[in-house]
Structure 1
Amino acid sequence: MREFDLCSKHLRLTPAPLIDEMTSLSLVNINPFTPESYRKLYLQSKGKRKAQGDLEETGAEGGKLEEVLPAKKSVLREINMASRYEKEFLEVEKIGVGEFGTVYKCIKRLDGCVYAIKRSTFSGLSNENLALHEVYAHAVLGHHPHVVRYYSSWTEDDHVIIQNEYCNGGSLQVSISENAKSGNNFQEPKLKDILLQISLGLKYIHNAGMVHLDVKPSNIFICHKMQSDSTGGPEEVENEADWFLSASVIYKIGDLGHVTSISKPKVEEEDSSDIFAWGLTIAVASGAESLPANGDEWHNIRKGNFPDIPQKLSEDFYNLLKNMIHPNPEERPSATALARSQVLRPFLGKTEELQQQLNMEKFKIATLERELREVQQARVGGLCSDLDLEAPFPNMSPHFQQLHRHNY
């Protein structure tokens, strides 16, 4: 059995011969989403790298730093250990099969909690790098309530294994299929809820400089919260009117195997490509038939024509969905705009208005409290007898001038 913990850091932070440092560096995977962080950590740690000749420019053989890094296969197969998967987890059942591997529902033996364990088989350096891609993206993104949570990753027996959050409601695709069998569809209030929650997740991904590139029903996951959890989430989402998080169902975007940087040349439409796919995902959830992959129907959609759906949506909501698939990427709303849309969050504008009123009242109260302290200090100091009772303080508010006359 072979295992390598991808979260381990093998960089040596103490002075050592150049050959030892390069050997240590060879055991570190370079995360494509944070290329500078590793290089700066290596070059700047304790300020002692320049003495060895600026390794950013030359390595042991005079080449670029990146050129001395070995193929990642040697990193993945570096350590021989017993199977961590079998040792730490009890496999319950297979819950999904995707492009990059198989997902299992597992119980961690130590904490007794349920996790989704994704096992991706790799053969050859190209497939190996693809398998690692999701690990890199998860590691950089961290935790957000509308992105499937990442816990750990490692490799063994030619598999990249990812320990993710288990979503007990399955995928949106499963729910859509069940609705189709029963002749039902998600209605507008639920569609708005789903659209808003995943838009918050996409906003988080886009703000990190990434684009998902694989937004579809099978990559949207559902978590049914326990009753005791239903009031515990509002503080987790960027202080934005989080009233909807009191609901018992949370939607999350997952499967980051295709995530790439927005700045990559191949991402022609940048983050708006995710918005286009997200709009079509909502169309399918609202009852549209399976979308074509090509042909005249697909080109018709690419022109901005929203797919036919078997229900009547409000004009504002329908127009919002149409804008999401606008043929001009610049005309599509951003994930940030969707997250603040009053079509999806009708109470947001009222909340901001009430907050402004509250701030004004707090200012008035603070002013009155300050004036009250001035009056009290004057009385305690015995100064009041020497003051003009008609105008004790020129800058005092009329309310306190009247109060002062009454007291004296």
Structure 2
Amino acid sequence: MVLIRHRLQQHLKLPLPELEISECSTLCTFLPKPMSDTTIQGVGDFMDLEKLCVLGRGNYGIVYKVRHGQTLAIYALKIIKQDTNEAYVSHEAEILNCIDSPFVVKCHGVFEPRAGEKAILMEYMDAGTLDGIFRANGPFSEASLAHISYQVLNGLKYLHEHNIVHLDIKPSNLLVSKDMKVKIADFGVSKIVHGIVSRAATNYHNMCEGTRAYMSPERLDSHTFGSGCVYAGDVWSLGVTLLELHVGHFPFFPAGKKPTNWMELVLVICFGESPSFPKEASEEFRSFIKCCLEKEPSKRWTVSQLLSHPYVCLGEKLGK
């Protein structure tokens, strides 16, 4: 363990490098044109939006529940702080404005209320986030998670097919409606993969923004685990998310324990034992999570492979 720690200190940069997003200026050439915009949705003036309550707060801004004065339609409005890096602001707004998938939160428009400030108008998901539901109601059943898995994997399939790696899949970034539709949100640290994978791998060390607890081994230690499978990190994050929602705590540590520092987190994720399952866990669920949490990214199942897994097929049937 001492040798591992020494090697990590040699090859991992402290602090983690900032995400470079200058490559995203030609983003919309990679994506289909959105099917809707502010004119079609009927929200043409930022001043027509009435703030009702705060839905959430993050490092870069606040998300409000808002009501459109003329139509009375309800939306979510993310206002990004004025002092936020301008490239970050443009990056998330541009990605959301170009995406159109039933499994990804829809953007209805981007406003600039004040100089240097961006406001992103999005569809309102009336049940909140998976994290909020978990905190209110406790762990999810395998059947519920199968239905969630099917939806999130379809969202990731869309993103990956359009050269987007999300890089921050976690319970609080998965929005839910009251009829249990689940959509991927928050593209602030997402990255566009240009050209062939080898080119993307060259810049993989720039993909270190995000939530470290959900990062895959290759994102935390690319020297040991390689950097060629750029989309595999989203699959790992999904596996951690689902297992956490089922067992009721972060799965790489016992219940009630948290890492004392980020190096301990890296050691456990990269070189520790695989998380354990509840005794009553089904073979299908165990198999699915193991396919997601394969430490070697080249052996980890892809999104397309996971969509054909028996556990996910159960989730597809539940959604019909």
> TM-score under structure 2 normalisation?
0.69
| Match 1:159 to one of 117, 130, 152 | 117
Partner of residue 149, structure 1: 106
Q: 1:339 to 1:34 in 2, by over 3 A?
A: farther
1:194 aligned partner: 148
CA distance in 2, matches of 1:288, 1:309: 11
Matched, 1:137 2:58: no
Residue 79 of structure 2: aligned partner: 119
> Aligned residue for 2:241?
281
Structure 1's 345 and 110: CA in aligned 2 closer, same or farther, altered over 3 A?
A: same
Counterpart for residue 340 of structure 1: 308
Partner in structure 1 of residue 133 of structure 2 = 175
Letter in structure 1 aligned against 2:181: I
Larger radius of gyration: 1
1:320 counterpart = 2:288:
yes
Counterpart in 1 of 2:275?
A: 307
Distance in 2 of aligned mates of 1:151 and 1:273: 28
SS in 1 for 2:111: strand
| Greater RCO, 1 or 2 (C-alpha within 8 Å, sep 6+) | 2
Counterpart contact for 2:277–2:286, Cα < 8 Å: no
- State the one-letter code of the partner of 1:210: I
Q: Is the 8 A contact 1:172 1:220 kept in 2?
A: yes
Q: In 2, distance between residues paired with 1:110 and 1:199?
A: 36
Number of aligned residues: 245
Pair 208,37 (structure 1): closer, same or farther in 2 beyond 3 Å: closer
**1:211 to 1:91, Cα distance in 2 relative to 1, 3 A:** same
Contact kept, 8 Å, 1:222 with 1:251, in 2: the verdict is: yes
What letter is aligned with 1:206?
H
Q: CA RMSD in A?
A: 2.7
User: Which residue pairs with 1:374 in the alignment?
Assistant: none
5+ residue gaps, structure 2 = 1-21, 31-43, 195-199, 208-226, 253-258
Superposition deviation, residue 305 in structure 1: 3.9
Q: TM-score, normalised by structure 1?
A: 0.55
The answer to whether the 8 A contact 1:304-1:326 is kept is no
What residue in structure 2 maps to residue 402 of structure 1?
none
Distance 1:198 1:37, change over 3 A: closer
How far apart are residue 251 of structure 1 and its match?
Answer: 0.7
CA contact (8 A) 2:27 2:192 kept: no
Q: What's 2:192 paired with?
A: 261
**Is the contact made by 1:105 and 1:117 (CA closer than 8 Å) also made in structure 2?**
yes
Query: Which amino acid in 2 is paired with 1:318?
Result: R
Aligned structure 1 segments of 4 or more residues deviating by more than 6 angstroms: none
Residue 34 in structure 1 maps to residue 2 in structure 2: no
In structure 1, list runs of 5 or more residues that go unmatched. Answer: 1-29, 39-82, 225-247, 350-408
Aligned partner of residue 156 in structure 1, secondary structure: coil
